[in-house]
Amino acid sequence: MTTNKKLLAWVQSLAQLCQPDKVYWCDGSDEEYRHLLNEMVASGAAIKLNEEKQPGSYYFQSDPSDVARVENRTFICTNTKEEAGFSNNWMDPSEMKEILRAKFKGCMKGRTMYIVPFSMGPLGSNIAKIGVEITDSAYVVVNMKIMTRMGQPVLDVLGNSNFIPCVHSVGSPLAEGQKDVAWPCAPIDDKYISHFPETQEIWSFGSGYGGNALLGKKCLALRIASYIAKQEGWLAEHMLIMGITNPEGEKKYFAAAFPSACGKTNLAMLIPTIPGWKVETVGDDIAWMKFGADGRLYAINPEAGFFGVVPMTSMKTNSNAMLLVKANTIFTNVGLTPDRDIWWEGIGTECPAGTVNWKNKVHDPASGEPVAHPNARFTAPANQCPVIDKDWENPAGVPISAFLFGGRRPSTVPFVYQARNWNHGVFMGSVVGSEVTAATLGVNDGVRRDPFAMLPFCGYNMGDYFAHWVNLGKNAPYKTKLPKIFNVNWFRKDEKGKWLWPGYGDNIRVLEWIFNACDNTVETINTPIGFMPNKKDINLKGIESVAANLDELLSVNTEKWLEECELIEEHYANFGIHLPNELAEEFVALKNRLK
């Protein structure tokens, strides 16, 4: 337990408000984890998977109304709307608290209130932060056990210090004698995922799914942490962290930001196709970074597990992810085969007859309905990853040599180029996006911008976030030790819509060039958009046929880039006076170089 007076008083006040049947302090033990899962199996909320095929693993189905992030029900509650910025749903903090107190009053009747102390980052790291989540969901507790360092050891480190309070309820109280459902939650328009950056609080009501309920993930690790990082002069980013070792044994760490569906997890666990190169994973989703005593930027993965999307994952596309989830994994909204194994689209095998889909119906191939929800997930311990980096839990973090930005750009953007300087790199991150069509996203054809892949996750005005990146470079202890910044694009297509680059394990060939560019051992070509590779420095051994595509892969079409500038103009208009002068200047310089 704890003697932390602030924590004890907070728990008591929430218990009085939420009125649970009992209050339970989680100790984070393996015994507790198994006990809670066994209870959920007994109640029908979970199914234990086939012990021979998926040892130690469990299966859940969410309510069909509770399957993903709900961005329109996610709020940033700052003192003024301007502080939240155009990209966030804003509500006045006092108004939101009034709504939430009414929602939370009696919301845990008939349920257990679990107290979940957790550390984002290795225990005791100077980059880590401690939170405490109050929840009425055992599903949340077992996922938090995998995704964070959780339980009594966290309270021991916390002592009497401050913590980040996180309150969660599924929003479904039980009357006396009322039978529970397998996945309790509130209706879609009664969900509130609310962040209070200035007081560093999170309140989430009505959803039991993913980052809406596992409050250490996007809520704390990005939305609240990005605000704290701005105040304290560090970075909390939606980035993977990977270690890359060349054949000579030299190792560098890269951090990379991509919008969703651009292959982050695949890149983090990449299997190189060039002999002698090795890629290891520190994290696949979030990076917290601070300057070390030597002036370099050091990164930790604040999470302890992977919470990944599974459809289209197979031994062919990402064998390391498949090996990661072979045991001790929680699966949500995939298919369940008759022998209690799991199945999803793209797994690489035929769907067995009689498989139950994520809506708990026997799959009918003629229906056209998917077996697994497109956002079906796995939760697995990071230490099970076959390519986990030996320093993934180093409290000091790992030194970052390069930042990579990128999106799905079938045209215009070449497959790799380097920023001219730090501010130019920040400019590159600020205009990241993916090309979309009306059919896929319900928006006009064009580029959907997701700056730094942080659009849904920045806890304050994004123009001020850009300024924070600019200031970080300006105030760096040793500017020569700042990571170099690159843009990559594995998704170029020719005029017939055919991929120009093979991708997957062959992306090591681009990473090899970046690795060498960090050491200034390759010559670069100065173009209007940045520094580009010389064709001879891209290693095509074994994929010689791709050589015919290199001219197009590395092309900078001035006409298309001037059209891109018109789109950037529209994008930048959203930020008004909050757009840093440095980025406006970089944009003018780009247009002048293109002309």
pLDDT, tens digit, for every residue of 82-141?
999 999 999 999 999 999 999 999 999 999 999 999 999 999 899 999 999 999 999 999
pLDDT tens, position by position, 457-486: 999 999 999 999 999 999 999 999 999 999
Sequence-distant (6+) residues with CB within 8 A of 169 are 18, 103, 104, 107, 108, 135, 136, 137, 204, 205, 206
Instruction: Give the torsion sign (CA, 349, 546, 437, 255).
Output: positive
| Token pair of 72 as six digits | 């329109």
Question: What's the CATH code, domain 237-303+390-594?
Answer: 3.90.228.20
* Angle at alpha carbon of residue 548, lines to 542 and 550, rounded to 5°: 90
* Angle at alpha carbon of residue 416, lines to 282 and 438, rounded to 5°: 90
Nearest in space to 505 (alpha carbons), one of 271, 286, 227: 271
* Interatomic CA distance for residues 344 and 336, integer angstroms: 9
User: 216-230, 247-261, 407-421, 440-454: lowest mean pLDDT where?
Assistant: 440-454
Average pLDDT (25-51) is: 98
Spans of all domains in the chain: 5-43+71-233, 237-303+390-594, 305-384
Backbone angles phi, psi at 299, to 5 degrees: -120, 140
**pLDDT given for residue 207 in this prediction:** 98
Rg (CA), the chain: 24
Beta bridge partners of 336: 342, 356
Nearest in space to 60 (alpha carbons), one of 374, 372, 383: 372
Sequence-distant (6+) residues with CB within 8 A of 276 are 246, 247
Nearest in space to 145 (alpha carbons), one of 325, 303, 309: 303
**Beta strand segments in 427-586, E:** 433-436, 446-449, 484-488, 524-527, 530-533
In terms of phi and psi (left: phi > 0; alpha: psi -120 to 50; beta: otherwise), the region of 264 is alpha
* Interatomic CA distance for residues 347 and 360, integer angstroms: 19
Average pLDDT (246-262) is: 95
Q: What's the per-residue H, E or C state across 16-27?
A: HHHCCCEEEECC
Average pLDDT (523-543) is: 96
DSSP 8-state assignment for residue 49: P
Instruction: Give the torsion sign (CA, 70, 72, 73, 76).
Output: positive
CA dihedral 160, 36, 209, 449 (to 10 degrees): 60
Sequence-distant (6+) residues with CB within 8 A of 447 are 409, 433, 434, 435, 436, 564, 567
**pLDDT given for residue 446 in this prediction:** 76
Residues of the chain above pLDDT 70, percent: 98
CATH superfamily of 5-43+71-233: Phosphoenolpyruvate Carboxykinase, domain 1 (3.40.449.10)
**pLDDT given for residue 445 in this prediction:** 60
Sequence-distant (6+) residues with CB within 8 A of 340 are 47, 48, 49, 50, 53, 54, 59
**Beta strand segments in 27-92, E:** 47-48, 58-60, 74-76, 89-90
Give the pLDDT band of residue 260 (cuts 50, 70, 90).
confident
Average pLDDT (441-449) is: 65
* Interatomic CA distance for residues 112 and 122, integer angstroms: 28
**pLDDT given for residue 361 in this prediction:** 97
pLDDT tens, position by position, 501-512: 999 999 999 999
Catalytic residue (choose from 26, 262, 458, 518): 262
Give the pLDDT band of residue 440 (cuts 50, 70, 90).
very low
Cα–Cα separations (whole angstroms), residue 36 to 42, 43, 112, 342, 594: 10, 11, 12, 21, 61
| Token pair of 62 as six digits | 């969410």
**Secondary structure element (H or E) that encloses residue 319, with its range:** helix 315-324
Nearest in space to 91 (alpha carbons), one of 82, 104, 78: 78
pTM confidence score? 0.96
User: 31-35, 222-226, 262-266: lowest mean pLDDT where?
Assistant: 262-266
| Token pair of 584 as six digits | 């406006």
Does residue 261 have a pLDDT over 90?
A: no
Does residue 436 have a pLDDT over 80?
A: no
The yes-or-no answer on residue 166 being catalytic is no
CATH topology of domain 305-384: Phosphoenolpyruvate Carboxykinase; domain 2 (2.170.8)
Give the pLDDT band of residue 76 (cuts 50, 70, 90).
very high
Report helix, strand or coil for 422.
helix
**pLDDT given for residue 441 in this prediction:** 39
**pLDDT given for residue 256 in this prediction:** 98
pLDDT tens, position by position, 187-202: 999 999 999 999 999 9
| Token pair of 226 as six digits | 């990005």
